[in-house]
Amino acid sequence: MTKWVYIVHKLDALSNWSGKVTSLLIYVIMGVIIFEVVSRYVFDSPTIWGTETTTMVFGVFGLASGVYTHFCRAHVKMDVFYARWSERKKAIADACTFPLFLIFCAVFLWKSGLYAWDSCAGLEHSTTAWGPPSYPWKMTIPVIVFLMILQGISQFIRDISLAAGKRLP
């Protein structure tokens, strides 16, 4: 049992750490927006990179925050039935739906990996006037999906343990 506890704690620590790092991206977004607003309205000199940078960083922020949300078990569930169930019954339901989660994430990982690979292989750039490289941002998608799978595995181990009557520490 201690091997599983160790694995769960390491995966949870990774998700917690990635969530804290991801939360710092909001300051990057705020900084870019403030810079853009001041440049545009105070100095009458808008940037060509502000909006696109904000969009790219927010995309990573939105996707990566899903891993932390899964770690906190804060995703929306069908509370009509789920909220009334015991912790053990919830764990059984979550363990039974894990294969669907895994299939979805596996397809997402596969498709996003191909998407990122094509972008990286072609050294893809944005088609805007600024035209920054977009492949680094696209490479974050499969990495984040992989982190989501790892957190899903951690939750599944916890659910199986709880369904068997033993709560992991």
Q: Averaged in consecutive runs of 10 residues, what is the pLDDT profile of the chain (169 residues)? A: 86 94 95 96 93 94 94 82 87 93 97 95 91 93 96 95 85
Residues near 57 by beta carbon (within 8 Å), at least 6 away in sequence: 25, 28, 29, 32
Q: Is residue 168 part of a domain?
A: no
Query: Can you give the residue range of the structural domain that contains 120?
Result: 2-163
Separation of alpha carbons 43 and 139, rounded Å = 35
The answer to whether 46 and 31 have CB atoms below 8 angstroms apart is: no
Nearest to 15 by CA among 147, 165, 127, 166: 147
Residue 143 pLDDT:
96
Q: Is residue 150 part of a domain?
A: yes
Report pTM: 0.89
Q: Is residue 133 part of a domain?
A: yes
**Total domain count for the chain?**
1
Q: Is residue 152 part of a domain?
A: yes
Q: Kindly report the backbone phi and psi dihedral angles of residue 138, in degrees, each rounded to the nearest multiple of 5, phi listed first.
A: -70, -25
Q: What is the 3-state secondary structure (H, E, C) of 81-142?
A: HHCCCCHHHHHHHHHHHHHHHHHHHHHHHHHHHHHHHHHHHCCCECCCCCCCECHHHHHHHH
Q: Is residue 169 part of a domain?
A: no
Residue 46 pLDDT:
92
Residue 61 pLDDT:
95
Residue 1 pLDDT:
58
Q: Is residue 132 part of a domain?
A: yes
Separation of alpha carbons 25 and 53, rounded Å = 12
Q: Is residue 19 part of a domain?
A: yes
